[in-house]
Amino acid sequence: MSAPLVHVRDLEVRFVTRDATVHAVNGVSFDLAERESLCILGESGSGKSVTLRALMGLNPPRRTKLSGTVRVGGHDILAASERRLADIRGGTVSMIFQEPMTALDPVFTIGRQIAETVMRHEGLSRASADARALELLELVQIPSAKRRLAAYPHELSGGLRQRAMIAIALSCRPKLLLADEPTTALDATVQIQILLLLRRLQQEMGMGVIFVTHDLGVAGEIADRVAVMYAGKFIEEGPVRSLMRAPLHPYAQGLLGATVHSGMRGERLTTIPGAPPNLERVPKGCAFAPRCALVEEACLPAVPTFRSPFPGHAARCVRVRDAA
Ligand SMILES: Nc1ncnc2c1ncn2[C@@H]1O[C@H](COP(=O)(O)OP(=O)(O)OP(=O)(O)O)[C@@H](O)[C@H]1O
Ligand SMILES: [Mg+2]
């Protein structure tokens, strides 16, 4: 069996500030196969973005304490130098963000930005880089692509900017694409178009994808597997159908709530009463216990281990039983 595209073990990410340490990611482990897509779901502040950024070595270096193992396409991300990371980003893994303006440079044309990226990473000549830029704009279905090469980011609509950012992210044919709520800033029809585009590109280019969304319909349409994150931990992971149809963890059940049915497009995650724990202290037992209607003694002394009643589907909850 070949090595997985992504291999994460016991990932911990802490932010050390003068007054406190924020335990943002607390022991995340997972693998992603080539061409596989994983969706991470969870409330605001659960550590989704920090996890994605750790896969690219993107958290602010001085204040961030990282531990565990992160391998992407065979590269040891936590041990890599900044210079090495710069090669890995774009070449092996790239990321698209919720707000394209954070990734696009306002002072250069779209064509120039794509061309620069491929020249830097692939050593193409200016002429071949320009040709590649056009190809990429056509790939992401930007109408009148040739004319759009000369456009500045502010001259494009939100949807086109998002497509341009995807074009840049894909420009060096990454093996892994990270997408952090890539469509929430867009209106519903444009969202669907972008997502269908992403799914098609994933299949055509054979990329692995890890994405974060608050939209269950989106998760259902793109993901092979879903991980549910709470207080910096994966608390449930499973195949998309099984997890959406029958979530195991009370938190996942609450989050997916009444919205788990077909035709979920546009359905947002349900809000659960109460607030997530303060990440300045990691709770000893199940972090969801204080909000859980089903809490019992056994939840408190230690974080429950993963239990797996069905192949590939597991949750950290004492109420879940392993398959016999
Ligand atoms: N640079 C940083 N310094 C200090 N704390 C941080 C930093 N970045 C993130 N955090 C904290 O880490 C925790 C996890 O943040 P993260 O951005 O991963 O949440 P998220 O799950 O992506 O939430 P959302 O759904 O709102 O995007 C939060 O408590 C956040 O305040
Ligand atoms: Mg986030």
Q: What angle do CA 6, 235, 310 make, to 5 degrees?
A: 85
From 17, 25, 48, give the residue whose CB has the most ligand 1 atoms within 8 Å, as the site to mutate: 48
Cβ-based neighbours of 42, under 8 Å, separated by 6 or more: 48, 228, 229, 230, 255
Give the number of the atom of ligand 1 that is nearest the alpha carbon of residue 47.
18
Question: How much is the pLDDT for 294?
Answer: 92
Q: Which two tokens stand for residue 282?
A: 């990691």
User: Strand 233-239 vs strand 225-230: parallel, antiparallel, or unpaired?
Assistant: antiparallel
Which residue positions in the chain have pLDDT lower than 70?
Answer: 1, 258-270
Question: For ligand 1, is residue 306 a contact (CB within 6 Å)?
Answer: no
- How far is ligand 1, taken at its centre, from the CA of residue 59, in Å? 10
- How far is ligand 1, taken at its centre, from the CA of residue 44, in Å? 8
Q: Which ligand is nearest to the CA of 16?
A: 1
- How far is ligand 1, taken at its centre, from the CA of residue 57, in Å? 15
Question: How much is the pLDDT for 201?
Answer: 87
User: Strand 37-41 vs strand 208-212: parallel, antiparallel, or unpaired?
Assistant: parallel
- How far is ligand 2, taken at its centre, from the CA of residue 222, in Å? 18
From 15, 28, 40, give the residue whose CB has the most ligand 1 atoms within 8 Å, as the site to mutate: 15
From 22, 102, 211, give the residue whose CB has the most ligand 1 atoms within 8 Å, as the site to mutate: 22
Question: How much is the pLDDT for 266?
Answer: 57
Question: How much is the pLDDT for 318?
Answer: 96
Cβ-based neighbours of 276, under 8 Å, separated by 6 or more: 43, 45, 46, 230, 231, 287
Question: For ligand 1, is residue 22 a contact (CB within 6 Å)?
Answer: yes
Using CA atoms, how far apart are residues 182 and 281, in angstroms rounded to an integer? 31
Strands (E), 114-154: none
Question: How much is the pLDDT for 265?
Answer: 52
Residue nearest to atom 14 of ligand 1 (CA): 47
Residue nearest to atom 2 of ligand 1 (CA): 15
Please give the model's pTM, rounded to 2 decimal places. Answer: 0.91
Question: How much is the pLDDT for 260?
Answer: 46
Question: How much is the pLDDT for 279?
Answer: 93
- How far is ligand 2, taken at its centre, from the CA of residue 75, in Å? 24
Question: How much is the pLDDT for 262?
Answer: 42
- How far is ligand 2, taken at its centre, from the CA of residue 31, in Å? 21
Give the number of the atom of ligand 1 that is nearest the alpha carbon of residue 43.
25
Question: How much is the pLDDT for 5?
Answer: 97
Tell me the three state secondary structure of residue 291: helix
Other beta carbons within 10 Å of 36? 19
